[in-house]
Amino acid sequence: MDNQSRKISLQLKSSGVPSKSDLKPFLPSTHRKRKGAYALIECFEEIPCDPCFSACPFKAVKEFENLNDIPVIDFDKCTGCGLCVPECPGLAIFLINENRKDGKATITIPYEFLPLPEKDELVWALNRKGEIEGEAKVVEVKTYPKKSNTTVVTLLIPKEQILTTRHFRRKDQHE
Amino acid sequence: MEQVEILVVGGGPAGMMASLSAVQSGANVTLLEREVKLGGQLIKQTHKFFGSYKEYAGVRGIEIAEKLTSLLKEQEDKGKISILTEAELVVFYHDQTLGYTYKGALRTLKTQKMIFTTGASERMLPFPGNDLPGVYAAGAIQTLMNVNGVLPGEKYLMVGAGNIGLIVSYQLLQAGAKVLGVVEAMPRIGGYLVHASKIRRMGVPIYTSHTILEAHGKDRVEEAVIIAVDNKYKPIPGTEKVIKVDVISLAVGLNPLGELLEQRGIKFCYIPELGGFVPWHDENLRTSHPDVYVAGDLAGIEEATTAMLQGELAGLVVAGELGYGNLEEQNKIGLVYQRLKEFRTGPKSEKTREGQLKLIDG
Ligand SMILES: Cc1cc2nc3c(=O)[nH]c(=O)nc-3n(C[C@H](O)[C@H](O)[C@H](O)COP(=O)(O)OP(=O)(O)OC[C@H]3O[C@@H](n4cnc5c(N)ncnc54)[C@H](O)[C@@H]3O)c2cc1C
């Protein structure tokens, strides 16, 4: 997996929305996906930033040779603990679990907005362009005081949306 | 007249680190900051910083300011540093005499060495209607919003998709405002793509290869007209689009704030990659005046991480010149060089690298 030499798509560079080709090298194998939760690092560009490496207690994020390296995950070491999600300054790490008995998936999203949603609340799942994809149920809300008070929210979503849902919006009263 | 060893002008990340490293080497420092609080740009930055986890990556800007301030207060209690806030340097006389205002009075002091870390000012953009109330610089909006708790409008258009434009857009959304678009003349987003993705997934469109044509409104901004540009940045007639907003926020770059040094006849170079006119300086951040050093955005527009590293470097070098610092401190200089160099190896630092080469050529 040589993430360093990959080209970023024109779509991503000009609109901020990654294409399938941008995402592909970052995805785990089907075999790994079946084993349970995994972290997806959507950091496509060489920028001077490395806190994901030290955030991982299992050393699943490869040590950086240079501060500007693109992070690489060893999915055999990733236990799906999710500690990297509230750490990433770019809010670019998501925890995905598509190995559920109910056939659905969960995605854990860093969320820096107030008021926070509540557990079991129904919210609008938003895609990478901010368009509503459908309803999603909040299954967990967790704030990490030691990680600059970042909150992460876990949503229950259809499996088909694991690569598209990246944010959510709370419903207005009349919605 | 008051006599000091090292005068640091500006209490942003560069000035705070310069003061700390000089004091830790054993020197005595006086730090002047014109605002009420130390921290410079950091006190309005509610987002988590990039950089190395060895420095302050993952920590919010406001928290970095608090940490550095408390480290400085410890040194103040030990009598190693005198910190004056609401103290603005206004004149740089002959020799090493300088004048500053403090509590409404003009005071003077004489110093052996100086480190200037006065930061930068925001650029304006010429377009019809830019004098209407409702046209702001993005950093000014960030100050109003995050320091003073005032939101100057409801609907915003951001001009510029560099990091400042993207980050301030995100913070406006956090504050409950609507951002109806970000326009960027270049065909590509200039800031970090992760910042762009954050606002995209909240539904904010980014119009690359677009610029603002004009602002309309009777007593204040009521709408903005944007237009597509060709590959020579020339507007393409017929592509105008009207967006109803009450605030136009300009994030179109920064200029180093060096008037006081110009006043004193210090050599400046025009280096667009570093933000325009910058005081010439060598690797050790020394200017054409042997006792004057610069660090941070004043030495070239970059980031808080590099501002802190440059400040640390200048503080160590200046303390060393005055005979302070043991071997360990002097060895640190090499380490700081290395960290600065590594930070700047990425594609996002290309401009800085080019600017640095031009500096060497003078
Ligand atoms: C919106 C925004 C987002 C940013 N995000 C990031 C980021 O995520 N990561 C990052 O690394 N960088 C970021 N930056 C850049 C970073 O904030 C600056 O590069 C950094 O603050 C520069 O530090 P400095 O100490 O040189 O200047 P400043 O922080 O500007 O500090 C200069 C200080 O000098 C004082 N001063 C000026 N003139 C005088 C005078 N005559 N007398 C006394 N005091 C004076 C000022 O009041 C100020 O406090 C961001 C900047 C902005 C505006």
Would the pLDDT of A141 be above 90?
yes
Confidence at residue B327, expressed as pLDDT on a 0 to 100 scale: 87
- Residue A175 within any structural domain of the chain: no
Residues 6+ apart with CB under 8 A from B125: B159, B212, B250, B252
Domains in chain B, CATH or no CATH each = 2-121+254-361 (3.50.50.60), 127-250 (3.50.50.60)
- Residue A68 within any structural domain of the chain: yes
Residue B117 in contact with ligand 1 by CB distance below 6 A: yes
- Residue A138 within any structural domain of the chain: yes
Rounded to whole angstroms, the Cα distance separating B50 from A48 reads: 7
Pair B44, B147: CB distance under 8 Å = yes
As to burial, measured by CB atoms within 10 angstroms (0-12 exposed, 13-18 middle, 19+ buried), residue B247 is buried
Query: Does an H or E element contain A97, and which?
Result: strand A93-97
Confidence at residue A4, expressed as pLDDT on a 0 to 100 scale: 53
Backbone angles phi, psi at A93, to 5 degrees: -115, 135
Rounded to whole angstroms, the Cα distance separating A94 from A55 reads: 14
How confident is residue A1, by pLDDT bands cut at 50, 70 and 90?
very low
Residue nearest to atom 52 of ligand 1 (CA): B164
Confidence at residue A6, expressed as pLDDT on a 0 to 100 scale: 66
- Residue A58 within any structural domain of the chain: yes
Structure tokens at B247: 């605030």
Count of structural domains, chain A? 1
Residue-wise pLDDT for B32-42, tens only, equals 999 999 999 99
* B337–chain A Cβ distance below 8 A for any pair: no
Q: Which residues of A touch B305 (CB under 8 A)?
A: 48
Look up the ipTM and state it.
0.96
Structure tokens at A107: 């995605």
Residue B50 in contact with ligand 1 by CB distance below 6 A: yes
Residue-wise pLDDT for B297-340, tens only, equals 999 999 999 999 999 999 999 999 999 988 888 899 999 999 99
pTM, two decimals, is: 0.95
- Residue A115 within any structural domain of the chain: yes
Select from B49, B173, B193 the Cβ nearest to the Cβ of A89.
B49
How confident is residue A54, by pLDDT bands cut at 50, 70 and 90?
very high
The 10 Å Cβ neighbour count of residue A30 is 7
Confidence at residue B285, expressed as pLDDT on a 0 to 100 scale: 97
A26-34 — which CB contacts under 8 Å span 24+ positions? A26/A73, A28/A73, A28/A75, A28/A78, A29/A75, A32/A75, A32/A76, A33/A98, A33/A99, A34/A99
- Residue A121 within any structural domain of the chain: yes
The 10 Å Cβ neighbour count of residue B11 is 30
Range of the structural domain that residue A119 is part of: 3-170
Confidence at residue B223, expressed as pLDDT on a 0 to 100 scale: 98
- Residue A126 within any structural domain of the chain: yes
Residue-wise pLDDT for B200-216, tens only, equals 999 999 999 999 999 99
**pLDDT mean over B136-147:** 97
Residue B11 in contact with ligand 1 by CB distance below 6 A: yes
Rounded to whole angstroms, the Cα distance separating B189 from B197 reads: 11
Residue-wise pLDDT for B256-274, tens only, equals 999 999 989 999 999 999 9
Confidence at residue B103, expressed as pLDDT on a 0 to 100 scale: 86
Would the pLDDT of A2 be above 80?
no
The 10 Å Cβ neighbour count of residue B331 is 11
- Are A89 and B202 an interchain contact pair (Cβ–Cβ within 8 Å)? no
Q: Which of B172, B183, B197 to mutate to test the interface with A (most CBs of A within 10 A)?
A: B197
High-pLDDT (> 90) share of chain A, %: 91
* Distance of residue A102 Cα from the nearest chain B Cα, in angstroms: 27
As to burial, measured by CB atoms within 10 angstroms (0-12 exposed, 13-18 middle, 19+ buried), residue B76 is middle
Residue-wise pLDDT for B81-133, tens only, equals 999 999 999 999 988 999 999 988 999 999 999 999 999 999 999 999 999 99
Structure tokens at B204: 């904010």
Confidence at residue A7, expressed as pLDDT on a 0 to 100 scale: 86
* A44–chain B Cβ distance below 8 A for any pair: yes
Residue-wise pLDDT for A98-134, tens only, equals 999 999 999 999 999 999 999 999 999 999 999 999 9
As to burial, measured by CB atoms within 10 angstroms (0-12 exposed, 13-18 middle, 19+ buried), residue B176 is exposed
Q: Which residues of A touch B344 (CB under 8 A)?
A: 48
